[in-house]
Protein backbone atom coordinates (compact mmCIF):
# COMPACT_ATOMS: atom_id res chain seq x y z
CA UNK A 1 0.00 0.00 0.00
CA UNK A 2 1.33 3.41 -0.89
CA UNK A 3 0.37 6.73 0.61
CA UNK A 4 1.65 9.73 -1.32
CA UNK A 5 2.11 13.21 -0.05
CA UNK A 6 4.17 16.24 -0.58
CA UNK A 7 5.43 15.86 2.97
CA UNK A 8 6.65 12.30 2.63
CA UNK A 9 9.31 13.34 0.12
CA UNK A 10 10.45 16.18 2.35
CA UNK A 11 10.70 13.94 5.42
CA UNK A 12 12.65 11.24 3.62
CA UNK A 13 15.02 13.89 2.35
CA UNK A 14 15.72 15.17 5.84
CA UNK A 15 16.16 12.00 7.86
CA UNK A 16 16.92 8.34 7.33
CA UNK A 17 13.92 5.98 7.28
CA UNK A 18 15.07 4.28 10.48
CA UNK A 19 15.12 7.57 12.35
CA UNK A 20 11.59 8.33 11.14
CA UNK A 21 10.40 4.97 12.43
CA UNK A 22 12.02 5.54 15.83
CA UNK A 23 10.54 9.02 16.09
CA UNK A 24 7.06 7.64 15.33
CA UNK A 25 7.40 4.81 17.85
CA UNK A 26 8.53 7.16 20.60
CA UNK A 27 5.74 9.58 19.88
CA UNK A 28 3.20 6.77 20.00
CA UNK A 29 4.59 5.43 23.28
CA UNK A 30 4.31 8.91 24.79
CA UNK A 31 0.73 9.47 23.66
CA UNK A 32 -0.82 7.66 26.65
CA UNK A 33 0.86 9.87 29.16
CA UNK A 34 0.89 13.20 27.34
CA UNK A 35 -2.53 14.78 27.06
CA UNK A 36 -1.61 16.72 23.94
CA UNK A 37 1.08 14.77 22.10
CA UNK A 38 2.68 16.52 19.16
CA UNK A 39 1.71 15.18 15.74
CA UNK A 40 4.07 12.42 14.71
CA UNK A 41 6.05 12.34 11.53
CA UNK A 42 3.59 9.76 10.20
CA UNK A 43 0.66 12.09 10.89
CA UNK A 44 2.28 14.67 8.68
CA UNK A 45 3.28 12.10 6.11
CA UNK A 46 -0.18 11.03 5.03
CA UNK A 47 -1.99 14.05 3.66
CA UNK A 48 -2.92 15.96 0.55
CA UNK A 49 -3.61 15.09 -3.02
CA UNK A 50 -1.78 17.86 -4.80
CA UNK A 51 -2.01 16.97 -8.45
CA UNK A 52 -4.27 15.50 -11.06
CA UNK A 53 -5.08 12.92 -12.23
CA UNK A 54 -5.92 11.94 -8.69
CA UNK A 55 -5.89 8.17 -9.41
CA UNK A 56 -2.99 6.30 -11.00
CA UNK A 57 -3.94 3.99 -13.85
CA UNK A 58 -1.64 1.22 -12.61
CA UNK A 59 -3.20 0.88 -9.11
CA UNK A 60 -5.87 -1.66 -8.21
CA UNK A 61 -7.65 0.84 -6.00
CA UNK A 62 -7.28 4.50 -5.10
CA UNK A 63 -9.36 6.13 -2.38
CA UNK A 64 -9.33 9.82 -1.55
CA UNK A 65 -11.08 11.60 1.31
CA UNK A 66 -13.23 14.35 -0.28
CA UNK A 67 -15.08 15.65 2.79
CA UNK A 68 -13.92 15.78 6.38
CA UNK A 69 -13.11 18.09 9.27
CA UNK A 70 -9.40 17.32 9.68
CA UNK A 71 -6.30 16.69 7.61
CA UNK A 72 -3.95 18.88 5.60
CA UNK A 73 -5.80 19.26 2.31
CA UNK A 74 -4.47 20.84 -0.84
CA UNK A 75 -5.49 24.27 -2.10
CA UNK A 76 -9.19 24.89 -2.66
CA UNK A 77 -10.51 22.25 -0.27
CA UNK A 78 -12.67 23.25 2.69
CA UNK A 79 -12.98 21.34 5.96
CA UNK A 80 -16.44 20.60 7.28
CA UNK A 81 -17.94 17.89 9.47
CA UNK A 82 -19.28 15.12 7.22
CA UNK A 83 -17.88 12.38 5.05
CA UNK A 84 -17.28 11.54 1.43
CA UNK A 85 -14.73 9.39 -0.32
CA UNK A 86 -14.04 8.88 -4.02
CA UNK A 87 -12.69 5.52 -5.11
CA UNK A 88 -11.18 4.50 -8.44
CA UNK A 89 -11.62 0.75 -8.88
CA UNK A 90 -12.17 -1.65 -11.78
CA UNK A 91 -12.09 1.16 -14.33
CA UNK A 92 -14.92 3.00 -12.54
CA UNK A 93 -15.12 6.10 -10.35
CA UNK A 94 -17.23 5.40 -7.31
CA UNK A 95 -18.52 7.98 -4.86
CA UNK A 96 -19.17 6.87 -1.28
CA UNK A 97 -21.26 9.51 0.53
CA UNK A 98 -21.24 13.21 -0.32
CA UNK A 99 -20.85 15.33 2.80
CA UNK A 100 -23.00 17.94 4.52
CA UNK A 101 -23.05 20.88 2.09
CA UNK A 102 -23.38 20.50 -1.65
CA UNK A 103 -21.37 23.68 -2.32
CA UNK A 104 -18.40 22.54 -0.21
CA UNK A 105 -18.61 19.06 -1.70
CA UNK A 106 -18.57 20.45 -5.23
CA UNK A 107 -15.56 22.66 -4.44
CA UNK A 108 -13.65 19.81 -2.81
CA UNK A 109 -14.24 17.48 -5.75
CA UNK A 110 -13.13 20.14 -8.22
CA UNK A 111 -10.01 20.86 -6.17
CA UNK A 112 -9.16 17.17 -6.56
CA UNK A 113 -9.72 17.41 -10.31
CA UNK A 114 -12.96 15.41 -10.18
CA UNK A 115 -16.37 16.52 -11.44
CA UNK A 116 -19.84 15.07 -10.94
CA UNK A 117 -19.81 13.78 -14.52
CA UNK A 118 -16.79 11.57 -13.69
CA UNK A 119 -18.82 9.56 -11.15
CA UNK A 120 -20.11 6.21 -12.46
CA UNK A 121 -21.67 4.86 -9.26
CA UNK A 122 -22.68 6.70 -6.07
CA UNK A 123 -23.34 4.98 -2.76
CA UNK A 124 -25.11 6.53 0.24
CA UNK A 125 -24.17 4.87 3.51
CA UNK A 126 -27.26 6.14 5.33
CA UNK A 127 -29.83 8.93 5.40
CA UNK A 128 -28.05 11.43 7.65
CA UNK A 129 -27.41 14.84 6.17
CA UNK A 130 -23.68 14.81 6.81
CA UNK A 131 -23.47 11.98 4.24
CA UNK A 132 -26.03 12.77 1.55
CA UNK A 133 -26.46 16.51 1.00
CA UNK A 134 -23.76 16.64 -1.68
CA UNK A 135 -25.91 14.39 -3.87
CA UNK A 136 -27.79 17.60 -4.75
CA UNK A 137 -24.71 18.69 -6.72
CA UNK A 138 -24.12 15.22 -8.13
CA UNK A 139 -27.68 14.79 -9.41
CA UNK A 140 -27.84 18.31 -10.82
CA UNK A 141 -24.76 17.66 -12.98
CA UNK A 142 -25.06 13.91 -13.52
CA UNK A 143 -28.77 13.02 -13.19
CA UNK A 144 -28.43 9.52 -14.67
CA UNK A 145 -25.67 8.34 -12.31
CA UNK A 146 -26.32 4.92 -10.72
CA UNK A 147 -27.27 5.50 -7.07
CA UNK A 148 -27.15 2.75 -4.45
CA UNK A 149 -29.16 3.54 -1.32
CA UNK A 150 -30.14 1.66 1.82
CA UNK A 151 -33.79 0.66 1.90
CA UNK A 152 -34.90 3.38 4.30
CA UNK A 153 -38.42 4.71 4.02
CA UNK A 154 -38.17 7.15 6.94
CA UNK A 155 -34.89 8.72 5.90
CA UNK A 156 -34.69 8.26 2.14
CA UNK A 157 -38.26 7.67 1.01
CA UNK A 158 -37.70 4.16 -0.33
CA UNK A 159 -40.98 2.65 -1.58
CA UNK A 160 -43.04 1.19 1.26
CA UNK A 161 -46.05 -1.10 1.28
CA UNK A 162 -48.06 -1.14 4.49
CA UNK A 163 -51.62 -1.67 5.73
CA UNK A 164 -53.96 1.27 6.28
CA UNK A 165 -56.90 -0.94 7.26
CA UNK A 166 -56.67 -0.12 10.98
CA UNK A 167 -58.73 -1.85 13.70
CA UNK A 168 -62.29 -3.05 13.03
CA UNK A 169 -61.64 -2.96 9.31
CA UNK A 170 -65.29 -3.71 8.48
CA UNK A 171 -66.28 -0.28 9.78
CA UNK A 172 -65.17 1.09 6.40
CA UNK A 173 -68.29 -0.36 4.81
CA UNK A 174 -70.46 1.85 7.01
CA UNK A 175 -68.79 5.01 5.71
CA UNK A 176 -69.70 6.94 2.62
CA UNK A 177 -67.37 6.27 -0.31
CA UNK A 178 -66.02 9.83 -0.16
CA UNK A 179 -64.91 9.22 3.46
CA UNK A 180 -63.13 5.97 2.67
CA UNK A 181 -59.50 5.90 1.63
CA UNK A 182 -59.36 5.89 -2.18
CA UNK A 183 -63.14 5.56 -2.30
CA UNK A 184 -62.87 2.00 -0.99
CA UNK A 185 -61.45 0.84 -4.33
CA UNK A 186 -57.96 -0.20 -3.26
CA UNK A 187 -56.59 -3.10 -1.23
CA UNK A 188 -55.84 -1.21 1.98
CA UNK A 189 -53.69 -4.06 3.30
CA UNK A 190 -51.19 -3.33 0.53
CA UNK A 191 -51.07 0.43 0.36
CA UNK A 192 -47.98 1.50 -1.52
CA UNK A 193 -46.17 4.78 -0.95
CA UNK A 194 -43.64 6.12 -3.40
CA UNK A 195 -42.06 9.39 -2.39
CA UNK A 196 -40.51 12.19 -4.43
CA UNK A 197 -37.80 14.17 -2.61
CA UNK A 198 -34.05 14.42 -3.27
CA UNK A 199 -33.85 11.20 -5.28
CA UNK A 200 -37.03 11.67 -7.31
CA UNK A 201 -36.61 10.28 -10.85
CA UNK A 202 -32.99 9.39 -10.11
CA UNK A 203 -31.49 6.07 -11.15
CA UNK A 204 -31.83 4.52 -7.68
CA UNK A 205 -31.34 0.95 -6.59
CA UNK A 206 -32.18 0.14 -2.98
CA UNK A 207 -29.88 -2.51 -1.49
CA UNK A 208 -31.36 -4.93 1.04
CA UNK A 209 -28.90 -7.84 1.00
CA UNK A 210 -25.20 -8.27 0.18
CA UNK A 211 -25.03 -7.39 -3.51
CA UNK A 212 -22.19 -7.57 -5.99
CA UNK A 213 -22.29 -4.41 -8.10
CA UNK A 214 -19.09 -4.88 -10.09
CA UNK A 215 -16.62 -7.76 -10.16
CA UNK A 216 -14.98 -7.40 -6.72
CA UNK A 217 -17.29 -4.68 -5.35
CA UNK A 218 -19.91 -5.86 -2.87
CA UNK A 219 -22.36 -3.61 -1.04
CA UNK A 220 -23.04 -4.79 2.50
CA UNK A 221 -26.23 -3.70 4.25
CA UNK A 222 -26.49 -3.63 8.04
CA UNK A 223 -29.09 -2.22 10.41
CA UNK A 224 -28.23 -0.16 13.46
CA UNK A 225 -29.80 -1.34 16.71
CA UNK A 226 -28.40 1.75 18.42
CA UNK A 227 -30.41 4.38 16.58
CA UNK A 228 -33.36 4.58 14.22
CA UNK A 229 -37.08 5.29 14.48
CA UNK A 230 -38.72 4.83 17.85
CA UNK A 231 -42.31 3.46 17.78
CA UNK A 232 -44.50 3.49 20.84
CA UNK A 233 -47.99 3.42 19.38
CA UNK A 234 -50.11 0.43 20.36
CA UNK A 235 -49.33 -2.46 20.17
CA UNK A 236 -45.83 -1.26 21.21
CA UNK A 237 -47.07 0.97 24.04
CA UNK A 238 -45.51 -1.03 26.83
CA UNK A 239 -42.54 -2.32 24.94
CA UNK A 240 -41.39 0.34 22.48
CA UNK A 241 -40.12 -0.86 19.17
CA UNK A 242 -36.97 0.48 17.51
CA UNK A 243 -36.94 0.38 13.73
CA UNK A 244 -33.18 0.35 13.22
CA UNK A 245 -31.34 2.65 10.86
CA UNK A 246 -30.38 0.92 7.59
CA UNK A 247 -26.78 1.42 6.48
CA UNK A 248 -24.58 0.41 3.56
CA UNK A 249 -20.86 -0.29 3.52
CA UNK A 250 -18.73 -1.18 0.50
CA UNK A 251 -16.10 -3.90 0.22
CA UNK A 252 -13.60 -3.86 -2.65
CA UNK A 253 -11.60 -7.03 -3.32
CA UNK A 254 -7.93 -6.55 -4.19
CA UNK A 255 -5.01 -8.94 -4.51
CA UNK A 256 -3.92 -7.73 -1.03
CA UNK A 257 -7.30 -8.26 0.64
CA UNK A 258 -10.55 -6.35 1.06
CA UNK A 259 -10.83 -2.60 1.35
CA UNK A 260 -13.88 -2.05 3.54
CA UNK A 261 -15.35 1.48 3.40
CA UNK A 262 -17.86 2.44 6.09
CA UNK A 263 -19.88 5.65 6.43
CA UNK A 264 -20.80 6.39 10.04
CA UNK A 265 -20.90 2.86 11.51
CA UNK A 266 -24.15 3.39 13.40
CA UNK A 267 -24.49 -0.40 13.21
CA UNK A 268 -21.08 -0.41 15.02
CA UNK A 269 -17.89 -0.91 13.10
CA UNK A 270 -17.54 -4.36 14.65
CA UNK A 271 -20.95 -5.48 13.31
CA UNK A 272 -20.01 -4.19 9.85
CA UNK A 273 -16.74 -6.14 9.96
CA UNK A 274 -18.73 -9.23 10.99
CA UNK A 275 -21.21 -8.68 8.14
CA UNK A 276 -18.29 -8.41 5.72
CA UNK A 277 -16.86 -11.65 7.04
CA UNK A 278 -20.23 -13.39 6.71
CA UNK A 279 -20.38 -12.28 3.08
CA UNK A 280 -16.92 -13.78 2.42
CA UNK A 281 -15.18 -10.40 2.70
CA UNK A 282 -13.35 -11.05 5.96
CA UNK A 283 -9.76 -10.72 4.77
CA UNK A 284 -9.65 -7.00 5.48
CA UNK A 285 -6.56 -5.26 4.23
CA UNK A 286 -7.89 -1.77 4.95
CA UNK A 287 -10.78 -0.58 7.09
CA UNK A 288 -11.61 3.07 6.46
CA UNK A 289 -14.37 5.63 7.05
CA UNK A 290 -16.27 6.89 10.08
CA UNK A 291 -16.20 4.42 12.97
CA UNK A 292 -18.57 6.47 15.14
CA UNK A 293 -16.60 6.09 18.35
CA UNK A 294 -17.10 9.57 19.82
CA UNK A 295 -19.42 8.29 22.60
CA UNK A 296 -17.03 5.63 23.92
CA UNK A 297 -14.41 5.67 26.67
CA UNK A 298 -10.80 4.46 26.70
CA UNK A 299 -11.60 1.03 28.15
CA UNK A 300 -14.10 0.24 25.40
CA UNK A 301 -11.91 1.68 22.65
CA UNK A 302 -8.75 -0.16 23.68
CA UNK A 303 -10.63 -3.48 23.73
CA UNK A 304 -12.26 -2.73 20.37
CA UNK A 305 -8.94 -1.75 18.76
CA UNK A 306 -7.44 -5.02 20.00
CA UNK A 307 -10.36 -7.05 18.67
CA UNK A 308 -10.18 -5.37 15.27
CA UNK A 309 -6.51 -6.19 14.99
CA UNK A 310 -6.31 -9.62 16.63
CA UNK A 311 -9.77 -11.21 16.44
CA UNK A 312 -10.85 -9.84 13.06
CA UNK A 313 -7.31 -9.63 11.63
CA UNK A 314 -7.85 -6.18 10.14
CA UNK A 315 -4.45 -5.35 8.65
CA UNK A 316 -4.59 -1.56 8.38
CA UNK A 317 -6.99 1.17 9.46
CA UNK A 318 -7.65 4.68 8.15
CA UNK A 319 -10.38 6.05 10.43
CA UNK A 320 -11.89 9.46 9.81
CA UNK A 321 -15.04 11.58 10.24
CA UNK A 322 -16.99 10.54 13.39
CA UNK A 323 -14.28 8.24 14.79
CA UNK A 324 -13.16 10.87 17.30
CA UNK A 325 -9.84 12.07 18.72
CA UNK A 326 -9.59 9.46 21.49
CA UNK A 327 -10.23 6.59 19.08
CA UNK A 328 -7.75 8.10 16.59
CA UNK A 329 -5.13 8.01 19.34
CA UNK A 330 -5.95 4.50 20.58
CA UNK A 331 -6.21 2.95 17.10
CA UNK A 332 -2.91 4.55 16.22
CA UNK A 333 -1.30 3.01 19.28
CA UNK A 334 -2.74 -0.42 18.50
CA UNK A 335 -2.00 -0.44 14.76
CA UNK A 336 1.29 1.51 14.80
CA UNK A 337 2.57 1.98 11.28
CA UNK A 338 -0.54 0.19 9.98
CA UNK A 339 -2.57 3.24 10.93
CA UNK A 340 -3.10 5.89 8.26
CA UNK A 341 -4.13 9.43 8.90
CA UNK A 342 -6.95 9.77 6.37
CA UNK A 343 -8.17 13.35 6.56
CA UNK A 344 -9.55 15.66 3.92
CA UNK A 345 -7.50 15.35 0.72
CA UNK A 346 -5.62 12.21 1.85
CA UNK A 347 -5.13 9.47 -0.69
CA UNK A 348 -4.41 5.77 -0.23
CA UNK A 349 -3.45 3.52 -3.12
CA UNK A 350 -3.13 -0.24 -3.36
FE1 LIG B 1 -21.79 10.86 9.93
Position 5 in a domain: no
- Find out whether 257 and 289 touch, Cβ atoms under 8 Å: no
Residues with Cβ within 8 Å of residue 71, at least 6 apart in sequence: 47, 48, 65, 79, 341, 342, 343, 344, 345, 346
Q: Calculate how far, in angstroms, residue 220's C-alpha sits from the geometric centre of ligand 1.
A: 17
Distance between Cα 71 and ligand 1 center (Å) = 17
Centroid of ligand 1 to alpha carbon of 251 (angstroms): 19
Give dist(CA 96, CA 263) in Å, integer. 8
Are 56 and 187 part of one and the same domain?
Answer: no
Instruction: State the distance from the centre of ligand 1 to the C-alpha of 169, rounded, in angstroms.
Output: 42
- Ligand 1 centre from 226 Cα, in Å? 14
Residue 208 and residue 69 share a domain: yes
Residue 301 lies in a domain: yes
Residue 81 is classified by DSSP as S
CA atoms within 13 A of residue 214's CA, in its CB half-sphere: 18
The rounded Å distance from CA 168 to ligand 1 centre is 43
List the beta bridge partners of residue 137: none
Both 54 and 119 in one domain: the answer is yes
Task: Supply the DSSP symbol for 113.
Answer: T
User: Do strands 84-89 and 61-67 pair parallel, antiparallel, or not at all (unpaired)?
Assistant: antiparallel
Tell me the sheet residues that pair with 148.
123, 205
CB burial of 308-322 (b: ≥16 within 10 Å; e: otherwise) equals: bbeebebbbbbbbbb
Q: Is 303 helix (H, G, I), strand (E, B) or coil?
A: helix
Q: Note whether 46 and 182 are same-domain residues.
A: no
* 127 CA distance to ligand 1 middle (Å): 9
What is the distance in A from the centroid of ligand 1 to the CA of 13? 38
Please tell me whether residues 275 and 340 are part of one structural domain: yes
Alpha-carbon torsion angle 327, 331, 334, 335, nearest 10? 180
299, part of any domain: yes
Same domain, 175 and 319: no
Report how far ligand 1's centroid is from the alpha carbon of 331 (Å).
19
| Residue 128 CA, ligand 1 centroid: distance in Å | 7
Is residue 205 domain-shared with residue 322, that is, in the same domain? yes
Task: Establish if 128 belongs to a structural domain.
Answer: yes
Q: What is the pTM of this model?
A: 0.86
> Domain boundary residue among 168, 193, 218?
193
The answer on 265 and 213 residing in a single domain is yes
| Cα 253 from chain centre | 17
The pLDDT of residue 237 is 83
Residues 52 and 164 in one domain: no
Distance 294 CA to ligand 1 centre (A): 11
| pLDDT at residue 50, rounded to an integer | 57
If one counts the domains in the chain, the total is: 2
* Domain match, 62 and 99 both: yes
How far, in Å, from the CA of 83 to the mean position of ligand 1?
6
If you measure from the C-alpha of residue 66 to the centroid of ligand 1, how many angstroms do you get, rounded to a whole number? 14
Taking a 5 Å cut-off on Cβ, the residues next to ion ligand 1 are 130, 264, 322
User: Do 173 and 87 belong together in one domain?
Assistant: no
Provide the b/e sequence for 226-260 (b: ≥16 CB within 10 Å): eebeeeeeeeeeeeeeeebbbbbbbbbbbeebbbb
Q: Is the peptide bond prior to 153 cis by the omega test (within 30 degrees of 0)?
A: no
Distance 295 CA to ligand 1 centre (A): 13
Cα 123 to averaged position of ligand 1 atoms, centre (Å):
14
CB 344 within 8 A of CB 70: yes
Cα of 19 vs centre of ligand 1, distance in Å, is 37
In a domain, 24, yes or no: no
Q: How far is the CA of 327 from the centre of ligand 1 (A)?
A: 15
Q: 30 CA to middle of ligand 1, Å?
A: 30
Alpha carbon of 152 to ligand 1 centroid (Å): 16
The one-digit pLDDT tens for each residue of the chain (350 residues) are: 555 443 333 333 333 333 333 333 333 333 333 334 343 434 434 546 655 578 988 999 999 999 999 999 999 999 999 999 999 999 999 999 999 999 999 999 999 999 999 999 999 999 999 999 999 999 999 999 999 999 999 999 999 999 999 999 999 999 999 999 999 999 999 999 999 999 999 999 999 999 999 999 999 999 999 999 999 998 888 889 999 999 999 999 999 999 999 999 999 999 999 999 999 999 999 999 999 999 999 999 999 999 999 999 999 999 999 999 999 999 999 999 999 999 999 999 99
- Contact indicator for 135, 101 with CB cutoff of 8 Å: no
The predicted pLDDT at position 238 comes to: 85
How far does the centroid of ligand 1 lie from the alpha carbon of residue 189, in Å? Answer: 36
Residues 202, 179, single domain; the answer is no
pLDDT at 236: 84
Inter-residue contact 246 to 219 (CB < 8 Å):
no
10: in domain? no
Domain boundary among 147, 170, 193: 193
Domain harbouring 77, CATH code: 3.60.15.10
Q: Cα of 290 to ligand 1 centre, how many Å?
A: 7
pLDDT of amino acid 53? 79
> Ligand 1: distance of its center to the CA of 288 in Å?
13
How far apart are the CA of 291 and the centre of ligand 1, in A? 9
What are 52-104's pLDDT values in tens digits?
578 988 999 999 999 999 999 999 999 999 999 999 999 999 999 999 999 99
Determine the straight-line distance between the first and last CA of the chain, rounded to whole angstroms.
5
Q: How far is the CA of 12 from the centre of ligand 1 (A)?
A: 35
Between the CA of 264 and the centroid of ligand 1 the distance, in Å, is 5
Domain that holds residue 143: 42-159+194-349
Asked if residue 76 belongs to a domain, the reply is yes
Task: For residue 26, tell me if it sits in a domain.
Answer: no
Amino acid sequence: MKVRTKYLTACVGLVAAGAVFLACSKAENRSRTEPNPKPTTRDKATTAVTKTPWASANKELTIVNAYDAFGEPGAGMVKDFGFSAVIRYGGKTILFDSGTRADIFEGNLKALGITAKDIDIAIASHAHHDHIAGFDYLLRENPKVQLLLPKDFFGLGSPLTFSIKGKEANIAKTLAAKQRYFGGKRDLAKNKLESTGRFWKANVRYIESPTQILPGLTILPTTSKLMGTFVRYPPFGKKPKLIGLPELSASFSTSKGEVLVVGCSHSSVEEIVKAASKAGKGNIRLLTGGFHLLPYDRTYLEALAKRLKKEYAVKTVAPCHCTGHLAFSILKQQFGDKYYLFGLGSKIEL
